[in-house]
């Protein structure tokens, strides 16, 4: 979604169960190979927008498989045109502990998307 000079992408959890928001280790995105400035990146979950570093303390808040995580940043993108969007998500799965510690999945998805000035109905999966 494009809103002025900000661009956002909806991300769905790549897991079948909810996890605490504190398990979101990292999320980032690029559009046509361009990354928004790190200081401008915000992540919205359950209607509240935060900096990524604030998620570590959110042990009581859950990210459910039916809900989108929206990552946004200051990035000029032309609305109505197709762009190559890449999203990377690092997520701890707290109830799976291996000999190496808590399982962390590192997912990356790249796809062509048309930039809209309204929230799209289909999120990146």
Tokens of 62: 């859950």
Q: CB of 71 within 8 A of CB of 29?
A: yes
- pLDDT attached to residue 4: 76
Q: Enter the pTM of the model.
A: 0.85
Pairing verdict, β 62-63 and 19-20? antiparallel
- pLDDT attached to residue 5: 86
Question: In this structure, how many other beta carbons lie within 10 angstroms of the beta carbon of residue 124?
Answer: 19
* Closest listed residue to residue 94, CA positions, set 10, 29, 20, 5: 20
In whole angstroms, give the CA distance from residue 102 to residue 98.
6
Can you tell me the mean pLDDT for 74-92? 93
20-71 confidence digits (pLDDT tens): 999 999 999 999 999 999 999 999 999 999 999 999 999 999 999 999 999 9
């Amino acid at each position: 979604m494009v809103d002025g000079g900000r661009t956002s992408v909806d991300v769905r959890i790549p897991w079948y169960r909810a996890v605490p928001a504190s398990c979101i280790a990292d999320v980032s995105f690029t559009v046509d190979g361009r990354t928004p400035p790190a200081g401008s990146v915000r992540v919205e979950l359950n209607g509240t927008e935060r900096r990524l570093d604030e998620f570590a303390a959110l042990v009581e808040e859950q990210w459910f498989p039916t809900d989108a995580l929206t990552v946004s940043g200051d990035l000029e993108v032309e609305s109505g045109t197709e762009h190559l969007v890449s999203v990377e998500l690092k997520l701890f799965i707290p109830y799976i502990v291996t000999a190496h510690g808590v399982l962390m999945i590192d997912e990356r998805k790249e796809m062509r998307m048309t930039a809209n000035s309204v929230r799209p109905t289909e999120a990146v999966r």
